[in-house]
Amino acid sequence: MAISSLKRDCRANCARNDPVIMEPKNRFQEKFQGIFSEYAEVRKRIYATIPADSLREAVGFLFNDLEARFIIISGFDNGKEIEILYHFSFDTSGEIVTLRVLLNRNKPEVDSLVPLFRGTFWIEREIWEMIGVNFREHPRLEKFLFSDDWPEGSYPYQVPRDRTNRPPDAPPIQSKLF
């Protein structure tokens, strides 16, 4: 019997809760469903909003246990909060996982992922320089895009507080992930 036939037969007949057999996305969802403030699956995309203090644990599980490939980190200032999006891929299934953390705009900081894997080294520096997010425990959070005389505290992708055109008590404008 071919290996692909064995896999197909096992998927159809094995216990759903067997962690070796379960699909990675299901294992991820089961382990972290209690911390998601938002979760959605659209085609082969999985979107989850998690607390910033759970980021390293969730990413460690995705990267180390489920062997998801790190793609990139992206971020933007929505005028009320800083949104950081962490993108991962399960290459065998073609699924993409996006973890979103929402950071306080007055003090945007989150744990660096460099201690988990070096692939985030440069993009965390870029996000720090462009948006002003402090990545705690980053080994070298210093300028590399701008010259040394670039004004401290000036972040080109951060919406200036006087130009948000939003009342201070307005709810945040969140990305349309879901």
Q: pLDDT category, 159, cuts 50, 70, 90? A: confident
Q: How confident is the model at residue 2 (pLDDT cuts 50, 70, 90)?
A: very low
pLDDT of 55 over the 80 cut: yes
Secondary structure E strands in the chain: 38-42, 45-49, 69-77, 81-90, 95-104, 109-111, 134-136
Residue 164: in which H helix or E strand, if any?
none
Q: What is the mean pLDDT of residues 9-31?
A: 65
Res 4 pLDDT > 50: no
pLDDT exceeds cutoff 50 at 141:
yes
At 22, the amino acid letter reads M
Q: Is the pLDDT of residue 175 over 90?
A: no
Q: With 80 as the cut, is the pLDDT of residue 6 above it?
A: no
Residue 82: CB atoms within 10 A of its CB come to: 26
Terminal CA-to-CA distance of the chain, rounded, Å? Answer: 42
Residue 22's pLDDT is 66
pLDDT in tens, 62-87: 999 999 999 999 999 998 899 999 99
Q: Virtual CA dihedral for 74, 77, 81, 85, nearest 10 degrees?
A: -10
Largest pairwise CA distance in the chain: 68
Residue 28 has pLDDT above 50, yes or no: yes
Tokens in use for 61? 């599980």
Report the pLDDT averaged over residues 54-62.
98
Band (1; pLDDT cuts 50, 70, 90): very low
CB 116 within 8 A of CB 140: no
CATH superfamily entry for domain 16-157: NADH:ubiquinone oxidoreductase Nqo5 subunit (3.30.460.80)
Domain ranges of the chain: 16-157
pLDDT band at 165 (very low <50, low <70, confident <90, very high): low
Q: Mean pLDDT in the chain?
A: 85
Tokens of 168: 């201070």
The pLDDT assigned to 173 comes to 57
Residue located via tokens 């096992």: 10
Residue type, 33: Q
